A and B are shown apart, each in its own frame.
Chain A
Amino acid sequence: MMDPLSEFGSRYLVSVVLVTLQVSLTAVGISTVVSLAISLTMSFVDFRGERAVETVINTGMGFPSVVAGLGVLLLLSNQGPVGGGFAVGPFRFGGVELLFTREAMVVSQCVLAVPVITSVSLSAIEDVDQSVRDAAFAAGGTRRDVQLTVVREARYGIVTAVLAGFGRAISEVGSVLIVGGNIAVRDSSGELVSLTRTLTTAITIEARRGQYEVGIALGVVLLVLALGVNAVGNVVRARGERS
């Protein structure tokens, strides 16, 4: 009997891992910037509708990924505002073909990761004791100094938030399947390589095909990757706490 694993060259596996990391790390990077901007604004600026924003963020924490994928699909399809474009007077915007690309997958992962990173980092920032803010102010700190000090005090919580966001992104399957298309192609040497296929979507397709060994192998790689990133995050956090 033929070994199912031998059907796939190492290049295929490497390309799937690289696409997974590229998409997830890019999405987490963008999401971190967006989320920190939101959580800092919510922590330090009083504005109308703050509660509503918080409710939306908390709802987003449990947002079904397939719904997020569907939303991004509608946005990016040639019927949607980004994919199809729209006109404002004589000006035309959009018309960008992003569907079934890694960029589309990044967008869909951002939609899912932003609420997680925002919520956890907001909680970490708001958990910083008022006495720290008072001490920073009383020591001569400006408003910005106080804010930076609070962020510094919340840094381990923020690292946890980023790790949680990465966990959400890398384990994502529904939305990246919809907007990415799970595409792998054969290159000039005839070897299968991933274009928009991630570890999770690859597992889905292999399981559907009955290639359980391949699915398990990909699953192990996914677990090792998630574990590795979390381990690095924990080491950074532990070193920071010790220093």
Chain B
Amino acid sequence: MTADTGPTDARPYAGDSSIRVAAEAVSYGYAGSDDREPVLREASLAAEPGEVVALVGPSGTGKTTLLRLFALFDPPDEGRVTIDDRDAWSLTADERLRRRRRIGFVFQDRSLFTGSVAHNVAYGLTVRRSWRERAGRWARTLVGSDDPPDRVHRALETVGMAGMADRDTRSLSAGEAQRVAVARSLATDPDVLLLDEPTANLDPRNTAAIEDAVTDARDRGIGIAIATHDMAQARRVADRSAVMLDGTVIERGPTERVFDDPNDERARAFVRGELVY
């Protein structure tokens, strides 16, 4: 169960068991776009516990939108997003919040708050506390007697940034900032982790650090969906892969099979680099 008062056991915010998030034939268009032109058209995909699924495909095919629907930013126009086979948008707001809090999200762009690395990594833990406890911690911070929770340090260790809790986020490189964003998602012990092109524009060292964190999370039973342009990365980290084109998933299966012997003609052209888009 997700608690709001900050319990103290080892995985206080994780669910009783790992969860499965799935999109079932979802269609979605952004408000304000021409006639709400659909970005997604009957796309289906699932993030299974203890498995990495890579979403690959050209830019603008709806990978980010699909991840945002998984994270319950918005309801789909058609189809369902399910969490453990229950339609997430038929739940009450409180139930949906509880389930949403079992999902972590790492964005492509720098998405850190101003302040220290610890403040960022602890954010997810902070919002899960009661207002009373938050006020107490805030008061202790003011007098300088509040240390970040252990889970903040553990999450930073996971991404290779141990000892950097006090750094100002403005002083971080793009790679370090992205590793902090990954740590922020891991600090709450999510059951599902969604990553939207987390290593775009990062150097090999930072890319490796993030990929290590992803495989480590997978080994701990976390279900992971990662959108990436880097097909070599998909091969390195993903158990399953899905190719998206024109807002729908045209090919899915074990990563090796998807890249070496795809069924769909367009998917074959894409993995060979022949698809001009």
Q: Residues of A at under 8 Å CB distance from B?
A: 131-132, 134-142, 145, 149, 152-153, 241, 243
- Whether, in the assembled complex, B184 has its beta carbon less than 8 Å from a beta carbon of chain A, the answer is yes
Q: Residues of B at under 8 Å CB distance from A?
A: 71, 73, 97, 100-101, 103-105, 107, 109-115, 123-124, 127-128, 181, 184-185, 188
A142 to B124 Cα, complex, angstroms: 11
Contact across chains for A135 and B127 when beta carbons are under 8 A apart:
no
A241 to B115 Cα, complex, angstroms: 8
A136 to B122 Cα, complex, angstroms: 12
Chosen A-B contacts, 16 in total, with CB atoms closer than 8 Å, are A131-B107, A131-B109, A136-B113, A137-B73, A138-B105, A139-B105, A139-B124, A139-B184, A140-B97, A140-B100, A140-B124, A142-B97, A142-B127, A145-B127, A153-B113, A241-B114
Q: Which B residues are in CB contact (< 8 Å) with A241?
A: 114
Other than A135-B113, A139-B127, A139-B188, give 20 A-B pairs with Cβ distance below 8 A: A131-B107, A131-B109, A131-B110, A132-B113, A134-B111, A135-B107, A135-B181, A135-B184, A138-B105, A138-B107, A139-B104, A139-B123, A139-B124, A139-B185, A140-B124, A141-B123, A141-B127, A142-B97, A153-B113, A243-B115
How would you classify the secondary structure of chain B's contact residues: helix, strand, loop or mixed?
loop
- CB of B13, distance to nearest CB on chain A (Å): 8
Q: Which B residues are in CB contact (< 8 Å) with A137?
A: 73
> In this complex, what residue of B is CB-closest to A135?
B111
- CB of A135, distance to nearest CB on chain B (Å): 4
- CB of B198, distance to nearest CB on chain A (Å): 13
Known: A139-B185, A149-B113, A153-B114. Is A134-B107 also a contact (CB below 8 A)?
Answer: yes
A134 to B113 Cα, complex, angstroms: 11
Q: Most B CB atoms within 10 A — which of A131, A139, A141, A149?
A: A139
The 5 A-B residue pairs with the shortest CB-CB distance, nearest first, are: A138-B105, A140-B101, A135-B111, A139-B124, A131-B111
A235 to B103 Cα, complex, angstroms: 40
A149 to B124 Cα, complex, angstroms: 12
A140 to B113 Cα, complex, angstroms: 15
A132 to B184 Cα, complex, angstroms: 13
- CB of A82, distance to nearest CB on chain B (Å): 38
> In this complex, what residue of B is CB-closest to A241?
B114
Q: Which A residues are in CB contact (< 8 Å) with B128?
A: 140
Q: Which B residues are in CB contact (< 8 Å) with A132?
A: 111, 113
Q: Which B residues are in CB contact (< 8 Å) with A139?
A: 104-105, 123-124, 127, 184-185, 188
Q: Which A residues are in CB contact (< 8 Å) with B181?
A: 135
A185 to B126 Cα, complex, angstroms: 56
Q: Which B residues are in CB contact (< 8 Å) with A145?
A: 127
A131 to B114 Cα, complex, angstroms: 12
Q: Which A residues are in CB contact (< 8 Å) with B101?
A: 140
Q: Which A residues are in CB contact (< 8 Å) with B123?
A: 135-136, 139, 141, 149
- CB of A210, distance to nearest CB on chain B (Å): 53
Q: Which B residues are in CB contact (< 8 Å) with A149?
A: 113, 123
Contact across chains for A135 and B188 when beta carbons are under 8 A apart:
no
Q: Which A residues are in CB contact (< 8 Å) with B185?
A: 138-139
A142 to B185 Cα, complex, angstroms: 16
Q: Most B CB atoms within 10 A — which of A135, A141, A241?
A: A135
- CB of B104, distance to nearest CB on chain A (Å): 7
Contact across chains for B109 and A140 when beta carbons are under 8 A apart:
no
Q: Which B residues are in CB contact (< 8 Å) with A141?
A: 123, 127
Q: Most B CB atoms within 10 A — which of A141, A241, A243?
A: A141
A131 to B105 Cα, complex, angstroms: 12
Q: Which A residues are in CB contact (< 8 Å) with B110?
A: 131
- CB of A6, distance to nearest CB on chain B (Å): 49
> In this complex, what residue of A is CB-closest to B2?
A140
A137 to B97 Cα, complex, angstroms: 10
Q: Which B residues are in CB contact (< 8 Å) with A140?
A: 97, 100-101, 124, 127-128, 188
> In this complex, what residue of B is CB-closest to A145?
B127
> In this complex, what residue of A is CB-closest to B124?
A139
Q: Which A residues are in CB contact (< 8 Å) with B97?
A: 140, 142
- CB of A134, distance to nearest CB on chain B (Å): 6
Q: Which A residues are in CB contact (< 8 Å) with B73?
A: 134, 137-138
- CB of B83, distance to nearest CB on chain A (Å): 14
